[in-house]
Amino acid sequence: MRPIRVAIWGFGAMGQGMAEMLLTKRGVDIVGVCDHDPTLVGRTVQDVLTQTVESLIPVTDDIDLMLNEVDPDIVLLCTDSFVSGVYEKIKKLLEKNINVITIAEEMVFPFQSHPALAKELDDLAKEKDVTVLGTGINPGFVMDFLAIALSGAMMDVEKMVITRKNSLNTFGLTVMEKYGIGETLEQYYERITNKQPIGHIGLNQSAHMIFSGVGLKPSKFEQQIEPILTQTKRKTKYATAKEGTLAGISLTGQGYIDEQLFLELHHPSQIEPDAQGVQTEDSIYLEGKPNVNMTIRPEIDGGLGTIAVCVNMIPHVMNAKPGLKTMLDLPVPRAILGDMRDMLETIE
Amino acid sequence: MRPIRVAIWGFGAMGQGMAEMLLTKRGVDIVGVCDHDPTLVGRTVQDVLTQTVESLIPVTDDIDLMLNEVDPDIVLLCTDSFVSGVYEKIKKLLEKNINVITIAEEMVFPFQSHPALAKELDDLAKEKDVTVLGTGINPGFVMDFLAIALSGAMMDVEKMVITRKNSLNTFGLTVMEKYGIGETLEQYYERITNKQPIGHIGLNQSAHMIFSGVGLKPSKFEQQIEPILTQTKRKTKYATAKEGTLAGISLTGQGYIDEQLFLELHHPSQIEPDAQGVQTEDSIYLEGKPNVNMTIRPEIDGGLGTIAVCVNMIPHVMNAKPGLKTMLDLPVPRAILGDMRDMLETIE
């Protein structure tokens, strides 16, 4: 059986991490890489990755040419966060009968936020006999999938309280800018006023994935955003937050069933959390029969976790029935330590 | 769409708990209950369950009559722990084109311990177009499924250390006898010498499910059993352990890849663990990229958890491709708070 053919579209930190991971795995080949960044185009994968890896695949900025030349089984799409950004790209891939995994946060559960586009992608994927999945560490794993999985050991659930207190230390420039690290409170309010995205994307998707997962229709879901202002200077490789400026963003959300609070989400993200005594962790408290009280300490690393979940879902997506799927539709992800092909049900 | 028709075979503590749970759910009916216990036969479900429930279904001891009369979509099989005990029962159900979920511990992953019987059941299920699943809180969830799920957020795994320190307090007489609670060290050694089962069943199955899940072939798997002798008198509703007698059983296991220790399992189970300062918990420590360090405190209740996982898997089993499946083949379990039929892909 030939190796699984994977192409990566979007070769930033996440795409590069996936390439690094794929190069350590058996039964899978990177056959193409596409990115429009002029500092990357024309260079080989092994030239871009600082680690010692062997891959002479060149980065191209011509997606159509790449897809026609390399004929991938699946594309890992790592270019955008929003459905609006990836929608046309996913359509292009489906039209060519290519499976897609994207880390676009909104694609983890687009059925509530973008029902028409989600249906269109689902229909097209079914027509073309391929599968689309949105995933990542969060949304896609910690604050939704894992909470749902734990609820599977419960006869009844009365309330869910899910917290991810994470460090942004390991992230690069894109994330620092996305979170406004080092910006003033004035700049923060300017972003809010201009409806410019800031901080974590996908809390809404996590909430609706949970409700859908347990079979409930929320009567209301509300979100709040707060700046995390630092009291001392904090510094990482890619950003500095002076005293009084943004060290991160805190999101909270509440989902109600018939006016009763059922779901609480807490998601403060910042650089150097221990500068102010914050211990990072993922915690899931499910009240019901029985109660389940889980903590992961420190939190699962966001960057590595996203790379891993995305790559580890490749065989599941290739095995899946056609359509637009969520993490709740497919078998549980798992580390792939053997040959990736052993996990396939069929491959031509 | 008509409700899902469920029958329960084995109406001990677990079967009764499943009935109680099913009676609170929408879109599902209990259509039959079978048990050979003369104190149960002839009584209705509502008479047996102490809670206020409405169900006039009678307990019968004639499985063939029951199956022919009530034509269930699925049977929850709660009679045995070993493959040898459930094998003929499962065959009988498959022959009648009935889906099966069993809490027989060895059926959670019978492919390594009972390859021939597993293949036979798999073939028969496929021929009859139905699905068989073995599950429960452990094996089936905590020490295998959940560890695998967490590994899904990892690029690589070097070592897995999985611990379940649980209390046997909530269990009934069957479990007290199974663990030899209150027996002397002499009686314990007699059981060991006579190869009489004692303590938790399924550690071997958990280990091989994990190896299979991540795609590794272990070079060796070893298990040890130790009595937990109490230093003070311990007492629960169903058993008493005097000073110096058995309060529980501790199992440990080690799995190796090429002579390298990869998997450590620790599973001490006892009544009144806090009598000797033992804090109960489930913990999963996965060393790799990134490390994942999870704790559930206290441990997920064994009885309630087993009932819940078994019932919550009903729609997944009905949706599944035919064959003998494991928890790793099906979508993640979840609490079912809406109508169970909403989770079905098709039902006639």
Per-residue pLDDT tens for B312-330? 999 999 999 999 999 999 9
Which residue has 């994935």 as its token pair? Answer: A209
Residue B190, in any domain of the structure: yes
* B262 neighbors B255 (Cβ within 8 angstroms): yes
- For the segment B293-316, the average pLDDT, to the nearest whole number, is 97
Residue A235, in any domain of the structure: yes
CA distances from B58 to A304, B52, B65 (A): 55, 16, 13
Contact B333 A146 (CB under 8 A): no
Same domain, B167 and B192: yes
Q: Is the pLDDT assigned to residue B282 strictly greater than 80?
A: yes
- For the segment A242-255, the average pLDDT, to the nearest whole number, is 98
Residues of A in contact with B149 (CB under 8 A): 146, 149, 332-334
Cα A348 → chain centroid: 29
Q: What is the pLDDT of residues B8-40, one digit of tens each?
A: 999 999 999 999 999 999 999 999 999 999 999
Q: Where are the beta strands (DSSP E) in B23-65?
A: 28-34, 59-60
At residue A54, the pLDDT reads: 83
pLDDT range class, residue B346, cuts 50, 70, 90: low
Q: What is the pLDDT of residues B186-241, one digit of tens each?
A: 999 999 999 998 999 999 999 999 999 999 999 999 999 999 999 999 999 889 99
Domain span including residue B20: 4-136+304-343
Same domain, B296 and B149: yes
Q: Is the pLDDT assigned to residue A346 strictly greater than 80?
A: no
Residue B183, in any domain of the structure: yes
Residue A348, in any domain of the structure: no
Residues of A in contact with B145 (CB under 8 A): 332
Number of domains in chain A: 2
Same domain, A282 and A322: no
Give me the CATH number covering residue A320: 3.40.50.720
- Residue A210 is inside which H or E element, if any? helix A203-214
pLDDT range class, residue B348, cuts 50, 70, 90: very low
SS3 A4: strand
Q: How far is A338 from chain B (nearest CA, A)?
A: 4
Output DSSP code: residue B156: E
Same domain, B131 and B46: yes
Beta bridge partners of B295: A295, B283
> How does DSSP assign A245-272, residue by residue?
SEEEEEEEEEEEETTEEEEEEEEEEESS
Helices (H), chain B: 13-23, 45-48, 63-70, 83-95, 110-113, 115-128, 145-151, 173-178, 185-193, 203-214, 302-312, 314-319
At residue A348, the pLDDT reads: 41
- For the segment B106-131, the average pLDDT, to the nearest whole number, is 98
Neighbouring C-beta atoms of residue B172, cutoff 10 Å: 17
Residue B348, in any domain of the structure: no
Same domain, A124 and A157: no
Q: Greater confidence, B263 or B345?
A: B263
Q: Is the pLDDT assigned to residue B347 strictly greater than 60?
A: no
Q: Is the pLDDT assigned to residue B171 strictly greater than 90?
A: no
Residues of B in contact with A16 (CB under 8 A): none
Q: Among B146, B149, B215, select the one facing A337 at the smallest CB separation.
A: B215
Rounded distance, CA B173 to CA B182, Å? 12
Same domain, B58 and B190: no
Cβ-in-10-Å burial (0-12, 13-18, 19+) of A248 comes to buried
Contact A308 B213 (CB under 8 A): no
- For the segment A63-83, the average pLDDT, to the nearest whole number, is 97
- For the segment B122-147, the average pLDDT, to the nearest whole number, is 98
Same domain, A86 and A153: no
Same domain, A231 and A183: yes
Q: What percent of chain A is modeled with pLDDT above 70?
A: 99
Same domain, B61 and B122: yes
Residue A52, in any domain of the structure: yes
At residue A172, the pLDDT reads: 82
Interface mutation vs chain B, best among A151, A170, A332, A341, most B CBs within 10 Å: A332
Same domain, B268 and B151: yes
pLDDT range class, residue A347, cuts 50, 70, 90: very low
Same domain, B193 and B251: yes
Q: How far is A17 from chain B (nearest CA, A)?
A: 9
Same domain, B154 and B289: yes
Rounded distance, CA B256 to CA B259, Å? 5
Q: Is the pLDDT assigned to residue A96 strictly greater than 90?
A: yes
Residue A123, in any domain of the structure: yes
Q: What is the pLDDT of residues B69-99, one digit of tens each?
A: 999 999 999 999 999 999 999 999 999 999 9
pLDDT range class, residue A278, cuts 50, 70, 90: very high
Residue B330, in any domain of the structure: yes
Calculate the dihedral angle through the C-alpha atoms of B308, B313, B314, B315, rounding to the nearest 10 degrees: 130
ipTM over 0.95? The verdict is yes
B192, two tokens: 């060991």
Rounded distance, CA B217 to CA B184, Å? 39
Give me the CATH number covering residue A211: 3.30.360
Contact B214 A337 (CB under 8 A): yes
Q: Where are the beta strands (DSSP E) in B180-291?
A: 220-229, 234-235, 240-241, 246-257, 260-270, 281-289
Residues of B in contact with A156 (CB under 8 A): 21, 24, 335, 337
